[in-house]
């Protein structure tokens, strides 16, 4: 709700970098912070989802690289650079959702599928949330915190400490366990810690990956995209003996968040396959309705699609089959999925943040520094939109 009680639909973009190895937002070597925020507004977005990692807060290095277009920021700490990004967002009328993306600096989701790691414990995670809530508690630009990016089981790397399989939803942890898995319970602990510091913030809680309650397609239960599976909010399953919604100490602060990607990133998903009956809007919608759509449709809580995206067509996407690069005429399976999702999100009037703003890739393991960001809205020089994809986002 806005200050006047009106409904506000968040329509934004992910601007990543603080969670990566350089620990600085992307693009600041090419454009000023103000130029980038101005471009975000010009493109029609009203907020930024801003990922960070816990290691950035602990190490808080002085940033000397990646700031060529912002000499005034040279030598400031990572947190001070983030302060300036948020201050500039405020000057441009943008809001910010902070995203606790990882424990250690790196790319994508935490490899163990959890909210802690060998180096950084759950207490460290809670401390990180309290720190961010306190630092920006008097800044109305920061409207919420996404407690953790893409928890889920099975883990991306099952050999990562503590090798417990990753996060699950609402399956109670054994008393005294050192390595908890119940993400629903952890999210309540984290959300309530944030609200103790700043009761005005929105608490964004993502789902998990696998769940015995679904989604079901063609009679089988399937894993979902990490963070995107909220079946457990309304259904029992496995060791979860009843539905497990999130309950916070302050009503009205909860926002359920999901991530969703198409066959370019999730090639094995059976509900969106080329040249089959699964390549239909009804097939995809049946799965979205099970995993998160029901929450918006039934008015259980607001839904925020915190990440979704598609190749921008600048270059062929890494490891993708021919035809997975998005077109605007729905001729490829990837394009059909993307259009189906846009239509579904519009129908439910959910809030969202597109992945991603960035025009080029960061200096990070598994990435190709300075090469075009294949899912980015901007061109690699950060001067404007990379493709006609913005025409689809305008529909939202």
Instruction: Write out the catalytic residue numbers.
Output: 150, 307
Displacement of CA 194 from its chain's centroid (Å): 19
Identify the residue whose tokens are 């407690």. 147
Q: What does DSSP say about strands 351-354 and 11-14: parallel, antiparallel, or unpaired?
A: parallel
Q: What is the distance between the alpha carbons of residues 29 and 26, in angstroms, rounded to a whole number?
A: 8
d(CA 136, CA 95): 12
Instruction: Give the H or E element holding residue 12.
Output: strand 11-14
Say which residues have a Cβ less than 8 Å from residue 294's Cβ, sequence separation at least 6.
234, 300
Q: Is the dihedral of CA 162, 163, 167, 173 positive or negative?
A: negative
Tell me phi and psi for residue 233, to 5 degrees: -65, -30
SS3 content of the chain, % helix, strand, coil (to 5): 25, 15, 55
Q: How far apart are CA 343 and CA 392, in angstroms?
A: 10
Residue whose token pair is 């390549």: 279
- Residue 332 structure tokens: 């490829």
Alpha helices in the chain (DSSP H): 33-42, 54-59, 78-91, 122-135, 183-197, 281-288, 294-297, 333-348, 389-394
For residue 217, what is the enclosing H or E element?
A: strand 216-217
For 77, the token pair is 């700490």
Instruction: State phi, psi for 371 to the nearest 5 degrees.
Output: -80, 160
Nearest-5° Cα angle at 105, 104 to 111: 60
Alpha-carbon span 144 to 131, nearest angstrom: 13
Give the HSE-up count for residue 190: Cα atoms under 13 Å, Cβ half-sphere.
Answer: 33
Reduced to 3 states (helix: H, G, I; strand: E, B; else coil), residue 261 is strand
């Amino acid at each position: 709700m806005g200050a006047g009680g009106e409904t506000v639909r968040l329509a934004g973009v992910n601007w990543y970098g603080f969670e990566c190895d350089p620990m600085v937002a992307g693009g600041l070597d090419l454009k000023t912070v103000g130029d980038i925020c101005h471009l975000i507004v010009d493109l029609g977005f009203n907020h930024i989802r801003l990922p960070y990692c816990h290691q950035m807060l602990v190490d808080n290095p002085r940033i000397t690289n990646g700031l060529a277009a912002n000499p005034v920021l040279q030598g400031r700490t990572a947190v001070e650079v983030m302060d300036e990004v948020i201050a500039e967002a405020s000057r441009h009328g943008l809001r910010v959702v902070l995203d606790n993306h990882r424990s250690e600096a790196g790319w994508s989701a935490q490899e163990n599928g959890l909210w802690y790691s060998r180096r950084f414990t759950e207490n460290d995670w809670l401390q990180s949330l309290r720190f961010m809530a306190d630092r920006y508690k008097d800044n109305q630009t920061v409207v919420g915190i996404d407690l953790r990016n893409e928890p889920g089981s099975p883990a991306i790397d099952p050999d990562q400490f503590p090798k417990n399989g990753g996060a699950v939803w609402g399956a109670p942890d054994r008393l005294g366990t050192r390595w908890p898995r119940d993400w629903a319970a952890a999210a309540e602990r984290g959300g309530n810690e944030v609200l103790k510091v700043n009761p005005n913030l929105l608490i964004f809680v993502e789902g998990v990956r696998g769940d015995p309650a679904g989604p079901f397609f063609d009679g089988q239960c399937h894993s979902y995209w990490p963070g995107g599976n909220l079946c457990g909010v309304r259904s029992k399953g496995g060791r979860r003996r009843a539905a497990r919604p999130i309950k916070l100490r302050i009503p009205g602060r909860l926002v359920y968040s999901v991530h969703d990607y198409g066959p370019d990133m999730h090639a094995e998903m059976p509900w969106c396959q080329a040249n089959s009956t699964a390549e239909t809007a009804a097939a995809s919608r049946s799965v979205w309705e099970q995993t998160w759509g029901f929450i918006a449709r039934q008015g259980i809580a607001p839904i925020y699609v915190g990440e979704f995206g598609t190749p921008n067509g600048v270059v062929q996407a890494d490891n993708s089959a021919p035809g997975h690069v998005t077109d605007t005429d729905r001729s490829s399976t990837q394009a059909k999925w993307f259009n189906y999702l846009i239509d579904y999100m519009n129908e439910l009037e959910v809030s969202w943040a597109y992945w991603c703003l960035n025009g080029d890739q960061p200096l990070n393991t598994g990435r190709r520094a300075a090469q075009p960001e294949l899912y980015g809205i901007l061109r690699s020089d950060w001067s404007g939109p990379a493709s006609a994809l913005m025409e689809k986002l305008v529909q939202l």
